[in-house]
Structure 1
Amino acid sequence: MFKNYLKTAIRNLVRYKGFSIINITGLTAGIAGCILIGLFILDEHSFDRFIPGHQNIYRLYNIRYAQDEEGAKFGTVPPTFGVAAAKDFPEVSSSLRMLHSMDADLLESGDIKAYEGDAIWAENTFLSFFPLNLKYGSAEKAMEGPHKVVLTEKIADKYFPRTNPVGKTLVINKENFTVTAVLKKVPENFHLRFDYLISLGTLNLPKERMESWNWQQFYTYVKLKDGADGVAFEKKFRDYVSARAHPITKPAGYYYIPYLQQLSELHLHSADFRHDELPVKGNIIYVNALTYIAIFVLAIACFNFINLATARAGRRAREIGVRKVMGADRKALIFQFLGETVLLSLFSVLLAALVAMLLLQPLNQFTGKSISFRPFTEWLPALAIVGGGILTGLLAGAYPAFYLSGFQPAKVIKGNQPASFGTGKSWLRESLVVVQFSLSALLIICTIVVFRQTGYLHNKDLGFRKDQVVLFRLRGNMSEKLDALKQELKKDPHIISATAGYGFPGDMLAGDEIIVPGKGTFGAKQLMVDHDYASTLGIRFIAGRDFSRDMKTDPDEAFVINESAVRELGFGTPEKAIGQPLQWTKWYGEGDSIKRGRVIGVIKDFHYSSLHEKISTTILQLFPEHYQMAVKVSGDDIRSTINYMQSTWSAFNQDYPFEYKFLDENFNRMYKAEDRLSTLLLIFTIMAIFVGCLGLFGLAAFSAEKRAKEISIRKILGAGITDIVSLLSRRFIALIVVASLVAFPIAWWAMHEWLQHFPYRLSMNAGIFAFALTLSLLIAFAAISFQSIKAAVANPVDKLRNE
């Protein structure tokens, strides 16, 4: 019997080629999209779950409150957190503190010399918290004491090729380090990316720094003992910190509250953390959005099948009637039709798996992942694919099977056809068309909004000129030769200006307090600059003046503030802010530890961080030591300009190679998540529209065939092509309008919620929805117009000759 069912199923698929091709193509596209998105989602949720005991490992973070602002999450905490947690809380078995080096270090071994990034300074407990596989050496005491370094396999092979480097010396920034261990390839679903680990003791940080409740630079983890209650520990630790830190921080105008973040949640639930560059961060909002898209695409493909199967019911009505007359019961017919659906679904799944394998490499390149998918060699993916194919076939074919098997043989044999598209009883198919294109319209609107917001992030006026600005780190004693270096650089006609400092847009910034006498202490971003900072970056003054070399008191007494500082420090207007007193506690220096000065200028607000963060109080002041240099170039001949800068560097510093980057690269990196989301949304929206249009194309073909005699009579009576096209199209078009009206409120709510994550955002207006409706109508009309025009131009005699 099974063999007979199989033969019948194959015969029907071959007989109705058009139907089969449309369904197989739609299901293949939908299932392939689901596979790719599913692989991406599974990979995102797999981060850190390979670490033994990951359920008991937590990261400490703070929510900081200042000047009536909403709390902001910070991934870095004071150094005291780790020591206190391990010492004073018995439920904590150990703690781990780390610092992240955002700079590239110069590594040297023999004749091999190069800059390497992604270094982590960590305590010796790192390898007990995260027991990564070792190729050489031992984890015990690998990072205990100063000047110890653990290398990844990639770095070890580069600087110590074909040898075990343990015990050998690696020079980092002109200091000797002993290699204590080499890690095998670090799993890509580990939330930390690094090239080498340096022992934290190397820094020899002063005691007052390590006992500070203000200095918040450390990434800190705690490991709880088995059975310990994380919620209870969090509350106890919060009370502990509040009692010790708040008396110190609240007089400074802010306070923070500590929280725990479970290790397995760190990757997907840290997107809104500030100054949290160390972890590899995903975004649970985007992962959930992709999950919905996968469901939408598969649902549209399944709805297509249901629509087309019921629409062609008339073709199979007599077959069903004859089978019932010959003794087939309803159960056998249901089994037959479900078998056909499952067969078609399994064939589609097979094609989808091949398509997914072909598209996986481009997806990996786009997302920076190394996801593998081997459904034909590994049993688990194969089982998931086969099971998914059977489940999809059963879900998609359940209604058509029960619907078709319910025909009464006497009626259908007499020629009374079941309801088809365009009759009063086609409510199910019309409902499914509405649902299909509601989902498509929803995706279209979301894609438009995400693209507009992403474009806004990239193109918004940041308040300074970021184009054609070259950044490079000042190394060795180059700060002492700064004026001479500037003068030499400016000899190139393509170099407009140069400035040095600490705190360039998109790069590392200093957070510190500023004191307003009589009003208190306020948190502020501190930009340590030289005299040419504002002019080089094109920052505009709206009151007062810039720093001047002619004013000898500027280094010790002058402050420049931004518009937000005028408002948040209570100065009223930019003009009234000029001359207001400010004080700052110096980082170091001789004599008085307080810098006492006045505001000499107010600059227009500019975005030194991404548009995910709101501009806050910002203070510019002259500073004797400089960290980086920014060079504004004309852009006429970038290559020769860079070569000149490199030769100039070599004349001033032969110990360190020249390394540079462009300032706008910093900002482009900030919006990678949004760029990826917009691209993925576009791809899968096109896929959803394509699958939906396949269904419309098929339904239009069946509708035209069903009404062929009516159309022929209308043509003989004088109806033109436009009349026929309108007749066949208007019901579909009406359904698309209804679908769009259903989708619009949902899309507005979803995108409104998403946009709230951006302090600076575009508003949604009626134009977006009008464009989405127009686009949906055009796409739908394009899908059905071919069949409508084909029916309109057909010779009516061909359909009526046998009447």
Structure 2
Amino acid sequence: MNRTFSSLVQDFRVGLRLLAREPAYALTAVAGLGIGLAVCLLLLGFVRYSWQYNAHVPDAQRVYVVKQRHNADPGAPWYDQVPAMLSRAAPQVAGVEQAAGYLTWAPLAIKRGSRPVAVAGLAVTPGFERMLGLQAVSGDISAALARPDGLVLTEASALRLFGTTDVLNRVVPVSTANSHKAALRISAVVRTPPANSTMPFEALHGLGSAIMPPDIRGEAQTGAQGWWGYVLVKLAPGASPANVAAGLQRALDQAPFMQTLPPGTREALGTRKAMEVHLAPLTDAYFDHDVSANFLSMRIERGDKDVVGGLAAVALLVLALAAINYANLATIRVIRRRREIGLRKVLGAGLGRLALQFTAEAMAVSMLATLLAVLLAWLALPLFGAAMNRDLSGILCAQNVAAALLIGVALGLVTAAYPAWAAFRVRPAQALAGRPDAEAPGGARLRKGLAMLQVAAAMALASYAIAVGWQTRYAIHSSPGFDPRPLLVFELPEPHNAQSSPEARSLMQALARDAAIAGLAVSNEPVGAGRNQQHTALRGAASVAEVATDIQSVSTDFFTVHGIAPVSGRLFASRSDREDDAEPLVVNQLAARRLGFAHPDQAIGQSVQFSDHGQWRSKRIVGVAQDVRFQSMKTAPRPAAYALSTAGSVLTVRAAASPAAAEQAIAGAWQRYFPDAPLDVRSAQDIYASGYADDLRLAGLLAGTTAVALMLAASGAYVLAADAIRRRTKEIALRKLHGGRGRDIGKLVARELAALVALPAMAGLPVAAVAIERYLSAYVERAPIGWWPLAWALALGAVTACLAGARHAWRAIRLQPATALQA
């Protein structure tokens, strides 16, 4: 055993010396394997990061998110928010070991100097810190949350706000979005939770905190009105989630606020529950796309299981391509070393000794490549994290680096197998006599097949990346029904709205007088955000059939500011409508059709029944607007209606000339009327594009991965072309002696390269076509792509093969027959 290990170490040293003597080969082998492994490490790190969301919570497998579906809502979406009173009722339900809740009702801002800084703060119930396993750096977390003036900060937020974590007992001025103020004492500092959490926070306070306005504090403590919050339950070992959900359902059904449903709503529900409770595993929360967002929702980037699984497959594919590339290079090197191998065999080296030697040489390459891969991954990590819009700073932890080293060892063992097998087949007599028998025909075909696999994979990845990028670009730049470029959007701080807040009205009047602003409108949500959707039901006067409809509450200038044109009738306008008038209604084309109007003109002046919290009220259609895309292209268009209301908190401004000048005007007016509230101004184009953020990141990731795959394919094609020319050297020489011209030799090489493109295209492009179709199936509206991604990928494969084979083709054309036949 010791002797074998000693021989392995000796061979490892010999391998390093041989690499040093062949710098070109060493650079090509180590760089190719290292780059492929670096890509693999980053992708697998992101995959592991995604699958470990909320894994830091103690006994996370037994913790569940309480969800509900509000069946009284015509859209009946699922929400991961429920009446907050369930956090108090849950401990009495059989099977619940622990329950905790957290609320986002009062967004926080902490003054740093003279300016307020927005802080992701949560109001939490007692026991939240135990549920999440929070660790105190200083202070007592439970005592801090019980104090009316207590505040808990994370280490990261303390550093961001004050530049130090030594902030215990510091008193800080804190305000909420509704301008409620209080002086709170930092009573505890906790370790910053991992970034892969669906419960991100920077600050915590209790439900009885002085920073919460009295009405919000009272509701948080009693739950009398059924306001929604987030509730987590930890089940006892062996408890059934279905039984616990049934217990929570009973507690909800008996709540006083559930007894106040209008008779019309109860009648419409029939046997269904007004609010249906469900438990979802906390460990699956990151991938839960069934939940809808509203104005109280935490803004969480959610993942897609298919995308994450696909990235894992791409990571392994790139690693396999890099390994194939190195195995081909190593095998060519074995062929060139056949005299040395033959001599070793003559001197008594057995198969085991040869296997040990080539394993050591492969291990030398793989270890150097692994070190290079870790370095490249570390250098690329900030850019990779920014591209994925995630805090990935922890993915190169000691555990992952150790895993990378193990992968390097495994690569060394795997990639040593084929070169060692090629060395076993070297016949000493023929090798020392100079006869080229180093590789059997079957081995050559295998290497050629592996090189073609590299090209096929590169073309498949290229076509898929082109399709994703093309569709994403088309989606982002398609018109949502108006031109979003001159529009800026911002929200009033809670609980201000344009209808009841004097500060908001003063702000709007100041903006209306500013020359940089051409118009201003109020709505309940930004177009394209899909974050505060409201639903209702419409039915025609002569019909009892209900049409589930998205309802948008807008001001009279909404259509003018957005530049939305009427299809029939008229749209709201300040010169013809009164703000908050309850009678007029504008519907989109789809809603008009669903209501039974064959032509938009038939809808004008017609009365429809409008569901308002279970009560049917009459409204009159004054116009039909063109369809506007309020959601992304992945969501089917829905009937929409517009009602006059200034109770919204979203302001949309049309810039008179420069959006930058309009933004400056907004900032100046905001400082006068909401000095303690942070301002977040976004362009309407950015809001709409944010719906495709995941696709944009995927497109960029695929583009980078495709570049690496094409580089590896080019390396494989280069080696294959060199080997093909070497094998046919004498044939080429004889052709030249018999009058073959340079163009004839070029055609001979071109046929070799054509096979290197045609066969991989036949294998890889059909697979890519299936993958592209699956990706595009998520879109309701597709870009006019056709077969262009496949054609472009084929062209890229052809260019790659031509560049890889150009040097060898030139050498074949310039070959001197006499020299070749003497070799």
Tell me the TM-score range normalised by the shorter chain: 0.7 to 0.9
User: Does the C-alpha gap of structure 1 residues 572 and 75 become closer, same or farther in structure 2, counting only changes over 3 Å?
Assistant: farther
Shift of 1:444: 0.7
Query: What is the SS of the residue equivalent to 1:671?
Result: helix
* Aligned ranges 1:327-726 → 2 under 5 Å: 327-367=348-388, 368-372=390-394, 378=398, 380=399, 383-418=402-437, 426-474=444-492, 479-480=501-502, 488-507=510-529, 508-516=531-539, 518-519=543-544, 522-548=547-573, 549-551=575-577, 555-584=581-610, 595-636=617-658, 638-649=659-670, 660-726=681-747
Q: Secondary structure at the match of 2:534?
A: strand
| Paired letter, 2:27 | I
Q: Cα–Cα, structure 1 residues 393 and 726, in superposed 2: closer, same or farther, change >3 Å?
A: farther
Aligned to 2:201: 194
1:204-353 to structure 2, matched below 5 A, reads 204=217, 217-230=228-241, 233=244, 251=268, 258-267=277-286, 269-271=287-289, 273-275=291-293, 277-353=298-374
Alignment-mate amino acid for residue 597 of structure 1: K
The Cα shift of 1:413 comes to 4.3
Q: CA contact under 8 A between 1:40 and 1:371: conserved in structure 2? A: no
1:646 to partner: Cα distance: 4.0
CA gap 1:762/1:123 in 2 versus in 1, 3 angstroms: farther
Q: Indicate if the aligned counterparts of 1:556 and 1:596 stay in contact, CA closer than 8 A.
A: no
Percent identity among equivalent residues?
25
Q: Deviations over 1:334-389 (max 9, x none)?
A: 222222222222222222222222222332343342424778xx5x4564343322
What is the deviation of 1:286?
A: 2.3
Structure 1, residues 291-314: CA drift from partner, whole Å, max 9, x if none? 111111111111123323334544
Asked if 1 retains the 8 angstrom alpha-carbon contact of 2:32 and 2:325, the reply is yes
- Cα distance change on mapping 1:695 and 1:630 into 2, 3 Å: same
Q: Which residue is equivalent to 2:94?
A: 90
The 1:241–1:317 alpha-carbon spacing in structure 2 relative to 1, beyond 3 Å, is farther
Contact 2:521–2:555 (CA under 8 A) maintained in structure 1: yes
Per-residue deviation, residues 257-281 of structure 1 (Å, max 9, x unmatched): 54432222222x1245431644442
Cα distance change on mapping 1:209 and 1:576 into 2, 3 Å: farther
- 1:176 to 1:241, Cα distance in 2 relative to 1, 3 A: closer
- Judged with a 3 Å threshold, the aligned counterparts in structure 2 of structure 1 residues 284 and 316 are, in CA distance, closer, same or farther, namely same
Distance 1:764 1:745, change over 3 A: farther
Q: CA deviation at 1:190?
A: 2.6
**Offset of residue 106 of structure 1:** 5.0
Cα distance change of structure 1 residues 337 and 710 upon mapping to structure 2, 3 Å threshold:
same
**Equivalents in 2 of 1:72, 1:747: separation in Å?**
34
Q: For residues 177-212 of structure 1, give each alpha carbon's deviation from its aligned partner in whole angstroms, at most 9, with x where no partner exists.
A: 445744433332332223334555641576999578
| Residue pair 1:512, 1:526 contacting (<8 A) in 2 also | yes
Amino acid at match of 1:538: G
Residue 25 of structure 1, aligned match among 19, 31, 44: 31
SS of the residue 2:798 aligns to: helix
Give the counterpart letter for 1:602 in structure 2: V
The change in CA–CA distance for 1:660 and 1:340 in structure 2 (over 3 A counts) is closer
Query: Is the contact between residue 144 and residue 205 of structure 2 (CA under 8 Å) also seen in structure 1?
Result: no
Kindly tell me: are residues 333 and 190 of structure 1, through their superposed partners in 2, closer, same or farther at Cα, counting changes over 3 Å? same
**Whole-angstrom distance in 2 between the partners of 1:40 and 1:144:** 38
* Aligned counterparts of 2:396 and 2:160: Cα–Cα separation in 1: 32
**Greater CA deviation, 318-327 or 429-438?**
318-327
Q: Matches of 1:686 and 1:159 in 2, distance apart? A: 41
Spell out, residue by residue over 1:723-759, the C-alpha distance to the aligned partner (whole angstroms, 9 max, x if none).
Answer: 2233224223213211121112222222222333333
Q: Which runs of 5+ in 2 are unaligned?
A: 1-6
User: What SS class does the counterpart of residue 142 from structure 2 fall into?
Assistant: coil
CA contact (8 A) 1:166 1:182 kept: no
Distance 1:155 1:208 in 2: 27
174-183 or 219-228, larger mean C-alpha shift:
174-183
| Offset from partner CA, 1:660-697 (integer Å, 9 cap, x none) | 33222322333222222111111111111111211221
Number of aligned residue pairs: give it. 786
**Match of 2:467, as an amino acid?**
V
Against the structure 1 CA distance between its residues 594 and 777, is the aligned structure 2 distance closer, same or farther, given a 3 Å change threshold?
same
Q: Is the contact between residue 252 and residue 513 of structure 1 (CA under 8 Å) also seen in structure 2?
A: no
Mapped pair 1:53 → 2:64 = no
Residue 607 of structure 1 aligns with an amino acid whose one-letter code is R
CA distance in 1, matches of 2:42, 2:371: 14
CA distance in 2, matches of 1:436, 1:411: 32
Distance in 2 between residues matched to 1:523 and 1:7, nearest whole Å: 74
**Alignment partners' CA distance in 1, 2:437 and 2:69:** 64
Distance in 1, matches of 2:558 and 2:604, equals: 19
Aligned equivalents of 2:606 and 2:565: distance in 1? 20
The amino acid of 2:325's aligned partner reads: N
Mapped to 2, the partners of 1:249 and 1:688 lie a distance apart of: 60
CA displacement, residues 444-478 of structure 1 (integer Å, 9 cap, x when unaligned): 11111110121122112111232121223346686
Bigger mean CA deviation after superposition, 57-66 or 154-163: 154-163
Shift of 1:654: 6.4
**Greater Cα shift, 284-293 or 489-498:** 489-498
Give the whole-Å Cα distance in 1 for the aligned partners of 2:706 and 2:545: 53
Distance 1:332 1:158 in 2: 60
Q: Mapping of 1:732-751 within 5 angstroms?
A: 732-751=753-772
1:116 equivalent to 2:118? Answer: yes
1:104–1:115 contact (8 Å) kept in structure 2:
no
Deviation string, structure 1 residues 122-177 (Cα, Å, up to 9, x no partner): 43343232232334543336556988754444555677786434776633343234
Distance 1:159 1:324 in 2: 71
Matches of 2:387 and 2:254, distance apart in 1: 48
- Structure 1 spans left out of the alignment, 5+ residues: none
Residue 3 of structure 1: how far off its partner (Å): 6.2
Taking the aligned partners of 1:345 and 1:106, their CA distance within structure 2 comes to 51
Which residue identity does 1:52 align to in structure 2? P
User: Within 1, Cα distance between the matches of 2:138 and 2:546?
Assistant: 51
Report the Cα distance in structure 2 between the residues aligned to 1:298 and 1:363, rounded to whole angstroms.
Answer: 18
